[in-house]
Amino acid sequence: MKRALITGITGQDGSYLAEFLLEKGYEVHGIIRRASSFNTSRIDHLYTDPHEKDARLFLHYGDLADSSGLRRILGKAKPDEVYNLGAQSHVRVSFDQPEYTGDVVGTGTLRLLDAVRDYIDESGKEVRVYQAGSSEMFGAANPPQSEATEFYPRSPYAVGKVAGYWYCVNYREAYDMFVANGILFNHESPRRGETFVTRKITRALGRIKLGLQDKLFLGNLDAKRDWGFAGDYVEAMWLMLQQDKPDDYVVATGEAYSVREFLEEAFSIVGLDWEKYVEFDPRYLRPTEVDFLLGDPAKAEKMLNWKPKTSFKQLVTMMVEHDLELAQKEKTLVDAGHDIPPSMND
Ligand code: NAP
Ligand code: G4F
């Protein structure tokens, strides 16, 4: 049985990847952060009591800011594959917390690589590492962006990811480690954090449709993104670690839409005119914006035999339907006299 260790297992991608690897028969270890309230809602459905004989998902407290903890976890999990998905992943928040974001996203990657390097030396095992790189690294570079495009990061988050990318290349070349950088373009799902624009829109839309909310405040509607489905993208991560040689790959759909087009598509599904509900709030603008991300996934298609399965329309529909159902549950609570949390603002 292969063993995998996932940092960021409680996040959107971590939950889909854990599901995917468990289905493939892996024993999966995940690093979670201690929090004052539960933060495992995305993986609760996968968890069984570790005392059970057939348990294959194990969680460990740790943090990418804490190298001694990472080293201890590697010793316990004894992984064949390590997926580094942990990050302060919100671009606008990285302008509020630049130092922390750089530490976790950039130096955190270095801490993990160095811990894996020593673990390989001590154990004699081959350990393969996947690094969650981002299309944000391309930033202001002209679209379409491919593996050959030069990075031009536009936020502390993106600079941290560029550092992480180069630490990975360096460890691959210096120590002959199997490290693959995935350069993933935006990918979304019903499990997407509620402060990213797609989910912010579909969450608000559900509530608007059911009369629980009347306005949605957004920033720049002209930005274009290459949006895919997270469930499709975790397969590409895994495929990168199944190759004979480590390499770096762009993972994208090859189609881009603006935030305005996402709004139009989502609101049209429920027969509403988005312009009646959406208002501009400059709070959501970034000091430096990334205007246009459009990936060229030709290398991943050719070398990994990977293709996205979910179209833009299917993705938007999946998210809208999920969030309508969620809003319906909230409405039941409101009708019974309970309060629901206010809509997310970020
Ligand atoms: P996400 O939903 O924000 O999840 C981030 C995960 O990282 C969460 O499990 C979070 O834990 C964990 N984390 C945060 N700070 C940490 C720290 N200091 N130490 C250890 N873990 C920490 O992000 P995602 O969308 O799943 O993305 C996964 C990875 O891919 C991230 O590295 C992201 O930057 C990168 N990426 C994402 C996209 C995208 O479009 N989704 C595109 C390109 C690259 P808590 O649950 O406790 O907060
Ligand atoms: O949904 P977003 O916050 O995602 P962004 O900045 O593209 O970053 C995401 O994708 C990256 C991959 O390219 C990941 F690396 C990163 O971790 C994250 O998952 O914003 C998308 C666009 C931006 O141009 C933003 O300015 O939507 C625009 N936007 C307009 N109004 C808004 C809002 N974004 C947010 N979050 N909230 C708004 O109200």
**CB 171, CB 117: distance < 8 Å:** yes
Token pair listed for 25: 């028969």
User: Which helix H or strand E contains 206, and what residues bound it?
Assistant: helix 197-209
Pocket test for ligand 2, best of 197, 200, 274 (most atoms within 8 A of CB): 197
User: Are residues 247 and 100 both part of a single domain?
Assistant: yes
Q: Which residue spans within the chain are E strands per DSSP?
A: 3-7, 27-32, 57-61, 81-84, 128-134, 178-184, 187-188, 216-218, 224-225, 228-229, 248-251, 257-258, 278-280
CATH of the domain at 265: 3.90.25.10
Ligand 1 centroid distance, CA of 107 (Å): 15
**CB 25, CB 103: distance < 8 Å:** no
User: Are residues 7 and 30 both part of a single domain?
Assistant: yes
pLDDT at 345: 54
Structural domain includes residue 302: no
Amino acid sitting at position 176:
D
pLDDT at 346: 58
The domain in which residue 41 lies consists of 3-190+227-251
Point out the ligand nearest to the CA of residue 286. Answer: 2
pLDDT at 341: 79
Structural domain includes residue 165: yes
Q: Reply yes or no on whether 157 is catalytic.
A: yes
User: Are residues 236 and 217 both part of a single domain?
Assistant: no
**Minimum CA distance residue for ligand 2 atom 31:** 219
Degrees, nearest 5: CA angle 295-300-303? 155
What interhelical angle do 197-209 and 259-269 show, nearest 10? Answer: 30
Pocket around ligand 2 at a 6 A CB cut-off: 89, 91-92, 134-136, 185-186, 195-197, 200, 218-220, 223, 225, 259, 284, 286, 289, 293, 346
- Chain mean position to CA 32: 15
Ligand 1 centroid distance, CA of 33 (Å): 12
Residue 186 Cα: closest atom of ligand 1: 40
pLDDT at 39: 93
Token pair listed for 221: 């509607």
CATH of the domain at 96: 3.40.50.720
Interatomic CA distance for residues 127 and 124, integer angstroms: 9
Ligand 1 within 6 A of CB of 43: no
Pseudo-torsion of CA 265, 132, 138, 193, nearest 10°?
Answer: 30
pLDDT at 53: 85
User: Are residues 137 and 272 both part of a single domain?
Assistant: no
Ligand 1 centroid distance, CA of 86 (Å): 4
Structural domain includes residue 306: no
Ligand 1 centroid distance, CA of 12 (Å): 7
Ligand 2 centroid distance, CA of 197 (Å): 6
User: Are residues 22 and 169 both part of a single domain?
Assistant: yes
pLDDT at 49: 85
**CB 217, CB 280: distance < 8 Å:** yes
pLDDT at 342: 75
User: Are residues 202 and 246 both part of a single domain?
Assistant: no
Ligand 1 within 6 A of CB of 186: yes
Ligand 1 within 6 A of CB of 310: no
**Minimum CA distance residue for ligand 2 atom 16:** 89
Q: Which of 19, 27, 81, 136 is catalytic?
A: 136
User: Are residues 182 and 287 both part of a single domain?
Assistant: no
Q: What is the mean pLDDT of each run of 10 residues along the chain (346 residues)?
A: 98 98 98 95 92 92 98 98 98 98 98 98 98 99 98 98 99 98 98 98 98 97 98 99 98 98 98 98 98 98 98 98 98 93 65
User: Are residues 158 and 209 both part of a single domain?
Assistant: no
pLDDT at 51: 87
Structural domain includes residue 127: yes
Q: Reply yes or no on whether 136 is catalytic.
A: yes
**CB 292, CB 235: distance < 8 Å:** no
Structural domain includes residue 271: yes
Token pair listed for 138: 């391309």
> How, if at all, do strands 128-134 and 178-184 pair?
parallel
Interatomic CA distance for residues 240 and 243, integer angstroms: 6
Interatomic CA distance for residues 105 and 84, integer angstroms: 10
User: Are residues 25 and 37 both part of a single domain?
Assistant: yes
Interatomic CA distance for residues 186 and 238, integer angstroms: 18
Domain count, the chain: 2
